[in-house]
Amino acid sequence: MIVPYAEAVPAAVAAKQAMIDRLSDEVAYLRDRNNTEITYLQERLQHRDAELGQRGRELAAERERADVIQQLALQRIEALTATVAEQREEAPEAAPEPPWRDLVGERDEDLSSVRRRLGGT
Protein backbone atom coordinates (compact mmCIF):
# COMPACT_ATOMS: atom_id res chain seq x y z
CA MET A 1 0.00 0.00 0.00
CA ILE A 2 1.35 3.29 -1.00
CA VAL A 3 0.56 6.33 1.09
CA PRO A 4 -0.19 9.42 -0.89
CA TYR A 5 2.32 12.22 -0.56
CA ALA A 6 -0.15 14.65 0.91
CA GLU A 7 -0.83 12.34 3.85
CA ALA A 8 2.81 11.25 4.44
CA VAL A 9 4.28 14.73 4.88
CA PRO A 10 2.11 15.85 7.79
CA ALA A 11 2.67 12.52 9.59
CA ALA A 12 6.47 12.82 9.24
CA VAL A 13 6.36 16.42 10.43
CA ALA A 14 4.22 15.43 13.41
CA ALA A 15 6.64 12.60 14.36
CA LYS A 16 9.57 14.92 14.00
CA GLN A 17 7.86 17.54 16.17
CA ALA A 18 7.06 14.89 18.81
CA MET A 19 10.74 13.90 18.92
CA ILE A 20 11.78 17.56 19.24
CA ASP A 21 9.29 18.09 22.09
CA ARG A 22 10.48 14.96 23.90
CA LEU A 23 14.15 16.00 23.57
CA SER A 24 13.32 19.55 24.69
CA ASP A 25 11.61 18.16 27.80
CA GLU A 26 14.64 15.99 28.52
CA VAL A 27 17.01 18.95 28.14
CA ALA A 28 14.81 21.03 30.47
CA TYR A 29 14.83 18.23 33.05
CA LEU A 30 18.62 17.89 32.88
CA ARG A 31 19.11 21.66 33.17
CA ASP A 32 16.85 21.76 36.21
CA ARG A 33 18.70 18.84 37.78
CA ASN A 34 22.08 20.45 37.10
CA ASN A 35 20.89 23.75 38.58
CA THR A 36 19.66 21.91 41.69
CA GLU A 37 23.01 20.14 42.10
CA ILE A 38 24.93 23.36 41.52
CA THR A 39 22.84 25.13 44.17
CA TYR A 40 23.38 22.28 46.63
CA LEU A 41 27.13 22.26 46.06
CA GLN A 42 27.35 26.05 46.40
CA GLU A 43 25.49 25.92 49.72
CA ARG A 44 27.74 23.10 50.93
CA LEU A 45 30.83 25.07 49.90
CA GLN A 46 29.60 28.14 51.79
CA HIS A 47 28.97 25.99 54.85
CA ARG A 48 32.47 24.49 54.64
CA ASP A 49 33.97 27.97 54.21
CA ALA A 50 32.13 29.12 57.34
CA GLU A 51 33.39 26.08 59.28
CA LEU A 52 36.93 26.66 58.06
CA GLY A 53 36.78 30.33 59.03
CA GLN A 54 35.51 29.42 62.51
CA ARG A 55 38.25 26.83 62.94
CA GLY A 56 40.85 29.35 61.83
CA ARG A 57 39.61 31.84 64.43
CA GLU A 58 39.70 29.14 67.13
CA LEU A 59 43.26 28.19 66.21
CA ALA A 60 44.34 31.84 66.23
CA ALA A 61 42.85 32.27 69.70
CA GLU A 62 44.60 29.10 70.89
CA ARG A 63 47.93 30.32 69.49
CA GLU A 64 47.43 33.64 71.25
CA ARG A 65 46.70 31.87 74.56
CA ALA A 66 49.81 29.70 74.10
CA ASP A 67 51.92 32.79 73.39
CA VAL A 68 50.63 34.48 76.55
CA ILE A 69 51.39 31.38 78.63
CA GLN A 70 54.86 31.16 77.13
CA GLN A 71 55.53 34.84 77.86
CA LEU A 72 54.40 34.39 81.48
CA ALA A 73 56.64 31.35 81.85
CA LEU A 74 59.62 33.24 80.43
CA GLN A 75 58.99 36.11 82.83
CA ARG A 76 58.89 33.68 85.75
CA ILE A 77 62.15 32.10 84.61
CA GLU A 78 63.78 35.52 84.37
CA ALA A 79 62.51 36.42 87.86
CA LEU A 80 63.78 33.13 89.30
CA THR A 81 67.21 33.47 87.72
CA ALA A 82 67.44 37.04 88.98
CA THR A 83 66.56 35.86 92.50
CA VAL A 84 69.14 33.07 92.34
CA ALA A 85 71.77 35.52 91.11
CA GLU A 86 70.96 37.91 93.98
CA GLN A 87 71.21 35.07 96.49
CA ARG A 88 74.59 34.10 95.11
CA GLU A 89 75.79 37.68 95.46
CA GLU A 90 74.55 37.82 99.06
CA ALA A 91 76.03 34.43 100.00
CA PRO A 92 79.52 34.42 101.57
CA GLU A 93 82.39 33.34 99.40
CA ALA A 94 83.31 30.32 101.51
CA ALA A 95 81.10 28.25 103.71
CA PRO A 96 81.83 28.58 107.43
CA GLU A 97 83.86 25.84 109.04
CA PRO A 98 81.71 23.18 110.68
CA PRO A 99 81.90 23.17 114.48
CA TRP A 100 83.36 19.67 114.64
CA ARG A 101 86.34 20.85 112.58
CA ASP A 102 88.02 22.18 115.74
CA LEU A 103 87.82 18.76 117.31
CA VAL A 104 89.11 16.84 114.31
CA GLY A 105 91.80 19.27 113.23
CA GLU A 106 93.82 18.51 110.15
CA ARG A 107 93.10 15.49 108.04
CA ASP A 108 96.48 14.02 108.63
CA GLU A 109 95.82 13.49 112.33
CA ASP A 110 95.14 9.98 113.40
CA LEU A 111 92.09 8.79 115.25
CA SER A 112 93.89 8.47 118.59
CA SER A 113 94.59 12.21 118.82
CA VAL A 114 90.91 12.94 118.16
CA ARG A 115 89.91 10.56 120.94
CA ARG A 116 92.29 12.31 123.33
CA ARG A 117 90.72 15.68 122.59
CA LEU A 118 87.25 14.31 123.14
CA GLY A 119 88.28 12.95 126.50
CA GLY A 120 88.66 9.38 125.51
CA THR A 121 91.71 7.19 125.85
- The pTM score is 0.45
CA 72 to chain centre: 21
Higher pLDDT pick, 27 / 80 = 27
Does residue 121 contact residue 115 with C-beta atoms inside 8 Å?
Answer: yes
Nearest Cα residue to 104 out of 95, 94, 117: 117
Q: Is the pLDDT of residue 87 over 90?
A: no
Backbone angles phi, psi at 104, to 5 degrees: -80, -40
Reduce the secondary structure of 55-105 to three states and give it as a string.
HHHHHHHHHHHHHHHHHHHHHHHHHHHHHHHHHHHHCCCCCCCCCCHHHHC
Q: Where are the domains of the chain?
A: 5-118
Query: What band does 91 get if pLDDT is binned at 50, 70 and 90?
Result: low
